[in-house]
Structure 1
Amino acid sequence: MRLNDLDERIVHALAEDARRSYADIGAEVGLSAPAVKRRVDRLLAVGAITGFTVRVDPAALGWSTEAYIELYCHGSTSADAIRRGLERYPEVVSASTVTGEADAIVHVFASDVRHFEAVLERIVGEPFVDRTKSVLVLSPLLRRYTSGSPN
């Protein structure tokens, strides 16, 4: 489903703060609260909005080390096999197939460098992994959690 401008603005407002009232969002986009609710319900029904969640600072949970791991896999490892292999690691917050030399990139949070090293060693031990290349994040410069254009 392709969102129209009004739906995009509603999604953007919810992505900024999913706890905002429909009346508040309506005032921003020029609709009544019931009209915003109907649109949000429709967006949920068609799968354009997949749910509502809370964003937690990983450091608040004691996970202050952040890293990215490039995965280089054996032969023709499928994306599904990579996903199945990584989904059991709670330290992995996202994983994507990518263009370029690597087959996938994995975003990891850990409590410290020693914890990250242990996670990396476990991932390297996965049967589909040929080798890895990793980088530790020093300072996150920009994080965006919104969707759509911020009109």
Structure 2
Amino acid sequence: MRTDLDAVDWALVDALQADARLSYNELARKVGVSPPTVAQRVRRLENAGVITGYRAVVDPTAVGRSVIALVRMKCYGPRCITVHPELLDDCPEVVEVVRLTGDICSVVKVVTTSVSELERLLVRLGGHGETSSAMVLSTPIPWRPLTAG
């Protein structure tokens, strides 16, 4: 569902993407509207599904998970992880699954503590279909906020 955002909405979205911990008072100062207006607008953005959540961004290496890999999957039918993502509910090393078009069905982002743990995980993922993996060396663009432009 598409939601049309005005300049104030985009200013709020920009500010919250930069720092989701800002108070309504701080947001009001940054955006130039009153705190009650900020509260009402943020609630509207949340209810419309524009803002889907707030979370801390954690560096995997800083918490001992220095092996990061992208696993391309070809899986179909009842064992397909895009159709049945609950198959990986007990697999905390899987931090993201993206469903794709084309000759592969998904890319799975995993973070592990060691290469041997990655190998164990690849064997498990192989039970769902064909895998091909690549270890991440660095992330020159780790995340970009969405902007109005």
| Separation of aligned partners in 2, 1:69 and 1:117 | 11
Q: Do the aligned partners of residues 7 and 79 (structure 1) sit closer, same or farther apart at CA in structure 2, a change above 3 Å counting?
A: same
Q: State how many pairs are aligned.
A: 146
Q: Which residue of 2 aligns with 1:52?
A: 54
Q: Which residue of 1 aligns with 2:68?
A: 66
Contact kept? 1:64, 1:111, Cα under 8 Å = yes
Amino acid at match of 1:67: A
Q: Which residue of 2 aligns with 1:36?
A: 38
Contact kept? 1:9, 1:149, Cα under 8 Å = no
Deviation at 1:145, TM superposition (A): 5.2
Q: Map 1:87-98 onto structure 2 (within 5 A).
A: 87-98=89-100
Structure 1 range deviating more: 83-92 or 69-78: 69-78
List gaps (5 residues or longer) in structure 2. Answer: none
| Separation of aligned partners in 2, 1:98 and 1:45 | 28
The alignment's TM-score, normalised by the length of structure 2, stands at 0.85
The alignment's TM-score, normalised by the length of structure 1, stands at 0.84
* 3-state DSSP of counterpart to 2:53: coil
Q: Which residue of 1 aligns with 2:83?
A: 80
Q: Map 1:7-46 onto structure 2 (within 5 A).
A: 7-46=9-48
Q: Do the aligned partners of residues 4 and 150 (structure 1) sit closer, same or farther apart at CA in structure 2, a change above 3 Å counting?
A: closer
Amino acid at match of 1:135: A
Q: Do the aligned partners of residues 135 and 49 (structure 1) sit closer, same or farther apart at CA in structure 2, a change above 3 Å counting?
A: same
Contact kept? 2:3, 2:48, Cα under 8 Å = no
Aligned-pair identity in percent equals: 35
Amino acid at match of 1:125: G
CA-to-partner distance for each residue in 1:24-58, whole Å, 9 max, x for gaps?
A: 22222221222111111222233322222211111
Q: Do the aligned partners of residues 56 and 150 (structure 1) sit closer, same or farther apart at CA in structure 2, a change above 3 Å counting?
A: farther
Higher relative contact order (CA 8 A, sep 6+): 1
Q: Do the aligned partners of residues 64 and 10 (structure 1) sit closer, same or farther apart at CA in structure 2, a change above 3 Å counting?
A: same
Q: Map 1:81-120 onto structure 2 (within 5 A).
A: 81=84, 83-120=85-122
Contact kept? 2:81, 2:88, Cα under 8 Å = no
Q: Do the aligned partners of residues 25 and 94 (structure 1) sit closer, same or farther apart at CA in structure 2, a change above 3 Å counting?
A: same
| Separation of aligned partners in 1, 2:125 and 2:100 | 18
